[in-house]
Amino acid sequence: MSDFAPPEILSRQPDEIASVGKRALAQILDTFVVGIPTFLFTLALGFNLTNENLSDRELLFVTVLFIGATLMYNIVGIAVWGATVGKRVLGLKVVNRVDGGPVSLSYAAVRALIPTAVQLVPAIGPGLALVVYLRALFHPLRQGLHDSAAGTIVVKR
């Protein structure tokens, strides 16, 4: 038995929690923020991504590059600034659910890895990723599965 009481869950008014719509729009913006530079980088390396004859090796390189860039972007953005560019543009911030404080690097990594990992499951990955995000529609704190695993909530700034 512990001498310390369990932490109380931060109680927030519903209007302070970010809407699922704003979160989705921020995700779309972030996809462009990562995708456009990654696309331009692959073009600079000589890859023709519109070519249907990409070798397996080239396709693997481009996939790993995009996944790596997306993970680093999300982990660093959340751990250092509390938001990615898309979230900042829409006035959102990711915080620790318990005390409203900043998210640690390890929890930011958990939050970013979950939707990325499920998308890698062959054939059903995109559907699983949708489940991760759509859970926020039914949760009182609008937490996706990745938010619950990392102990985070997304709030209005």
Q: pLDDT band at residue 59, thresholds of 50, 70 and 90?
A: confident
Q: Of 120, 112, 37, 106, whose CA–CA distance to 71 is shortest?
A: 112
Residue 86: half-sphere exposure toward Cβ, Cα within 13 Å:
19
The phi-psi region of residue 44 (left if phi > 0; otherwise alpha if psi is between -120 and 50; otherwise beta) is: alpha
pLDDT in tens, 11-32: 544 448 999 999 999 999 999 9
Q: Of 92, 50, 85, 52, whose CA–CA distance to 70 is shortest?
A: 85
Q: pLDDT band at residue 51, thresholds of 50, 70 and 90?
A: confident
Range with top average pLDDT, 1-10, 58-67, 100-109: 100-109
Q: Are strands 152-156 and 92-96 parallel, antiparallel or unpaired?
A: antiparallel
CB-CB neighbours of 83 under 10 Å: 21
Q: Stretch 8-13: mean pLDDT, rounded?
A: 53
Residue 153: half-sphere exposure toward Cβ, Cα within 13 Å:
22
Q: pLDDT band at residue 55, thresholds of 50, 70 and 90?
A: confident
Q: Stretch 96-121: mean pLDDT, rounded?
A: 94
Instruction: Judge whether 41 and 102 are in contact, CB under 8 Å.
Output: no
Instruction: Judge whether 26 and 84 are in contact, CB under 8 Å.
Output: yes
This prediction's pTM = 0.84
Q: Stretch 79-97: mean pLDDT, rounded?
A: 96
Q: Stretch 46-62: mean pLDDT, rounded?
A: 84
Lowest mean pLDDT among 5-19, 116-130, 133-147: 5-19
Q: What is the pLDDT of residue 69?
A: 96
- Percent of the chain with pLDDT strictly greater than 70: 90
Return all residues near 141 (Cβ < 8 A) that are at least 6 apart.
12, 17, 97, 147, 153
